[in-house]
Structure 1
């Protein structure tokens, strides 16, 4: 089992809008596809920079091949939507992790 994590740094003035967008648009869209499972959105408490808040959104995924298929089919489009709405006010970086235990 793999964990696909994206950490977002969100400028404070966009925090409420970002959370609404993630909960009402992004998560329902990802769940429609059925390739990523068990979403979890958390606030990152360490490594805070003044004027921003960090969030981590992670999903379970069976394999890197399935993640690649999701990314090419849906992930790119959702990232473009994020950039269109929030521009440089929200910056995200992905991490792929393997569950050991």
Structure 2
């Protein structure tokens, strides 16, 4: 099992709107596809004073399925996020393998 994690740095002035969009638009749209499962949103605890960081995590069975999802849906959703939030949200993905 793999965990697909994306960490987002979010400007304070759009923080609430970002969380609403993630919960009400982004996650439900991804769940329709069925490749990524069991979403989880986490706040990253840090001492930074500018913005808030979140992670959105999903379980996925294989890197080939993740690649398929990225080509079919992921790039479109990322483009949509950039149109809505512009440079006020910056994200980077990490793929992790569950060991235990």
Q: Give TM class, smaller chain.
A: over 0.9
**What is the aligned residue count?**
100
TM-score normalised over the length of structure 2? 0.98
Q: Which secondary structure does the structure 2 equivalent of 1:56 belong to?
A: strand
Q: What is residue 19 of structure 1 aligned with on the other side?
A: 19
**Displacement of 1:44 after TM fit?**
0.4
- Indicate the RMSD between aligned Cα atoms, in angstroms: 0.7
Please, which runs of 5 or more residues in structure 1 have no aligned partner? none
Residue 94 (structure 1) aligned with residue 93 (structure 2): yes
Give distance in 2, aligned partners of 1:93 and 1:14. Answer: 18
Q: What is residue 5 of structure 1 aligned with on the other side?
A: 5
TM-score normalised over the length of structure 1? 0.97
Q: What is residue 68 of structure 1 aligned with on the other side?
A: 67
**Displacement of 1:49 after TM fit?**
2.5
User: Which stretches of structure 1, 4 residues or more, deviate above 2 A after TM superposition?
Assistant: none
Give distance in 2, aligned partners of 1:39 and 1:66. Answer: 16
Q: Which secondary structure does the structure 2 equivalent of 1:94 belong to?
A: strand
Q: Which secondary structure does the structure 1 equivalent of 2:8 belong to?
A: strand
Q: What is residue 81 of structure 1 aligned with on the other side?
A: 80
Please, which runs of 5 or more residues in structure 2 have no aligned partner? none
Q: What is residue 51 of structure 2 aligned with on the other side?
A: 52
Q: What is residue 42 of structure 1 aligned with on the other side?
A: 42
